[in-house]
Structure 1
Amino acid sequence: MLGRSDKPFSVLVTGGAGYIGSHAVLALLDAGWKVVVLDNLATGFRWAVPETVEFVLGDVADMEMVQATIAKHNIGAILHFAGSLLVGESVGNPLKYYRNNTAASRTLIEAAIGAGVHHFVFSSTAATYGMPEVVPVAEDAPKAPINPYGLSKLMTEQILADVAAAHPLNYAALRYFNVAGADPQGRSGQSVAGATHLIHIACEAATGKRGHVGIYGDDYPTPDGTGVRDYIHVSDLADAHVAALEWLIANPSESLTANVGYGRGYSVLEVLDVVDHVTNMAIERRQEPRRAGDPPTLVADNRRILETLSWRPRHGDLASIVASALAWERTLQERGLSS
């Protein structure tokens, strides 16, 4: 890891006022990096950006503004989180996703090339795999997205690969699995209204924001019939971005595509049992029909990231993930903040 006095440039974090982006900002600061956040606050929150961090209100698709920001702040790398991320919404409004996730990313990458940025870390997704036939799923598995969200991310991965072959840019595309939890120090967490992640929904139910938790399907070919997912703590995910950035700097002629997960799956019922245990209450569960496009099991083969980066998970215990998410939900209520 680079020492604090060895940081050669500042890092631009797009979407740094959002859930994952704000945690990446904290991880970068903790590692000694100087950070600039670019966010249009469509889904992010200004209060989620530390006061010590330079904040730019704007859109990643504004090339002139992006290049001016890069020049003004000596930006040498971009961590790109800005975009849209609701799978169901992407099906109903695909043009929004191809604009926000693909077209805007293309413009941002062009701005980066034009301004001399050499390193790019991209927020991708396990949705690029669609319905994998082999689980745990490895990076070389077939990519067959079943919704515009997954395809919009895969298209951006391809843009990055093509650009890196033609220009002095290397990149890391990190494919997330199910992100959950909140900063253990209580500095940030998931705050966007309408989030669809199971642990977040369960914590909302535990704090009275919801009356129940829906279980979508109980007849999957899994041990208890409910879907199995690989849940990763958001702070571990943020640390993976810092590790990827420093690997790119150390290996300027190489790029990386890697899953970010723990390689261990939990079913919906197992997660809810843990939530009940952590909260010491029984949250109401309601059986609902399957949702179209939900794979029975989605678990990461994480050998590549473990073998390539210095990253090692520090918050992988499911009860700890739930406890941090619950603590943040209570913090939101105490502060009267949005969720």
Structure 2
Amino acid sequence: MAILVTGGAGYIGSHMVLALKDRGEDVVVLDDFSTGFPWAVADGVPVVEGDVADRELVARLIADHGVTEIAHFAAKIVVPESVENPLLYYHANTAKTRDLIETAVKTGVKHFIFSSTAAVYGNPLTNPVGEDAVPAPMSPYGTSKLMSEWVLRDAAAAHGFTYAVLRYFNVAGADPQGRSGQSTPNATHLIKVACQTALGQRPKMDVFGTDFPTPDGTCVRDYIHVTDLAEAHVVALQHLRQGGGSITANCGYGRGFSVLEVIEAVKRASGIDFRADLGPRRAGDPAMIVAKADFIRQQLGWVPGHDDLDGIVTQALAWEKRLGAAHEQDRVSS
């Protein structure tokens, strides 16, 4: 019995691989390396370069490794890009997920864990927002993920497998042991961008919107540590293995921080007062979104261990320093 982790060389996927490997699970990774890196995958885990929509390749991996479960992380995730190029997102996130699900059905995969997003809620009427809120995505990114949820729901009902849809809020931080972190150079994650600016890797950063109906006018988000998120996937997998039914669950801490509060946290951690320019809103950004995560805590027993913004920022900053040192070493060596 093995678990296929798609996108397992990326940010969240690599942390899921670490969580599974730490528990002695058999894991195989499929990644196209568009944003991931082979070195980000835990030692000893087989890594195959390829596309999740390549049905022959996926079927061969499932057969060769005895895969009975899939954790699907491979996706496009940049909201502004999805607004500019929606067809790319419906292809990468919806059409390819549909193809992966079909292969899973044909090869007898028992359980499927899907990486979804709080973007399916759009700009919720109330916060914290629960899983029972009516989805109203504001961007093609959010819609592409919601459509994938529907495909998964209907396929599971027709073909008898079980699934867990996990709707992430804003993922941040790095592995506390320093084994992985957000490594994509042009990533748009706020904490990564702020850390890069603090370290002089960017001349400045931009704040998109100061006129939102929030306490300081900037967007408010619920930041979840990537290690806690990986643990949420583990408890969801255990739930399915123990015969539990299919679920949809929010993954967040239930409290939010504004963009300006996050920037101040990075300034505290780094000791550097870097430049942050205030600018207009971006398309697709809701004012505030905070998770109501009672279900995964109470029903699945998820207990987060890293619910601390300063700790999240400190680990993210340490990871950026490690990446910078590695890039400098590579430059000198070449």
TM-score (normalizing by structure 1):
0.95
Shift of 1:22: 0.4
Residue 6 of structure 2 aligns with an amino acid whose one-letter code is: T
Q: Deviations over 1:172-200 (max 9, x none)?
A: 00000101111111101111122111111
Among 110, 132, 143, the alignment partner of 1:140 is 132
Structure 2: where are the runs of 5+ without partners?
A: none
Q: What letter matches 1:111 in structure 2?
A: T
**Which residue of structure 2 lines up, in the alignment, with residue 210 of structure 1?**
202
One-letter code of the match for 1:43?
A: T
| 1:53-72 map, 5 Å | 53-72=45-64
Residue correspondence of structure 1 range 314-329 to structure 2 within 5 A = 314-329=305-320
Partner of 2:183: 191
Measured after TM superposition, the shift of residue 277 of structure 1 is: 1.0
Query: Structure 2 counterpart of 1:269, which letter?
Result: L
1:39-50 correspondence to structure 2 within 5 Å: 39-50=31-42
Question: What percent identity do the matched residue pairs reach?
Answer: 57
Give the drift of 1:310. 2.2
- Greater shift in the superposed pair: 199-208 or 42-51: 42-51
Displacement of 1:117 after TM fit? 0.5
Matches for 1:75-94 after TM superposition, within 5 Å: 75-94=67-86
Structure 2 SS opposite 1:188: coil
Unaligned runs of 5+ in 1: 1-8
Distance 1:26 1:38 in 2: 15
Separation of aligned partners in 1, 2:34 and 2:80: 18
Paired AA for residue 68 in structure 2: G
2:325 is matched with: 334
The equivalent residue for 1:101 is: 93
Tell me the CA shift for residue 43 of structure 1.
1.4
Determine if the alignment matches structure 1 residue 279 to structure 2 residue 273. Answer: no
Aligned to 1:313: 304
Q: Is the 8 A contact 2:110 2:162 kept in 1?
A: yes
How far is 1:264 from its partner?
0.7
| Structure 2 residue 211 is matched with structure 1 residue 219 | yes
Q: Work out whether 1:110 is the aligned partner of 2:102.
A: yes
Shift, 1:56, TM fit: 1.2
Range 214-223 or range 169-178, more displaced: 214-223
Q: Which amino acid aligns with 2:89?
A: Y
SS of the aligned residue for 1:311 comes to coil
1:219 deviates by 2.1
Alignment match, 1:170: 162
2:284 corresponds in structure 1 to 293
* Coordinate RMSD, CA, aligned: 1.2
**After superposition, what is the alpha-carbon deviation per residue over 1:234-273, rounded to whole angstroms, capped at 9, x for unaligned?**
1111111111111111125x10101100001011111111
Residue 159 in 1 paired to residue 144 in 2? no
**Contact 2:223–2:256 (8 Å) recurs in 1:** yes
User: Secondary structure at 1:328's aligned position in 2?
Assistant: helix
In structure 2, the partner of 1:235 is 227
Paired position in structure 2 for 1:16: 8
User: Does residue 1:262 correspond to 2:258, yes or no?
Assistant: no
Any runs of at least 4 consecutive aligned residues in structure 1 with deviations exceeding 3 A, and if so which? Answer: none
Provide Cα deviations, 1:58-78, integer angstroms capped at 9, x if missing partner.
111011111111011011100
CA distance in 2 between counterparts of 1:76 and 1:321 reads 33
Q: Map of 1:243-258 to 2, 5 A cutoff?
A: 243-252=235-244, 254-258=245-249
Residues 111-136 of structure 1: CA deviation (Å, up to 9, x unaligned): 11111111000000011111111111
SS of 2:74's partner is coil
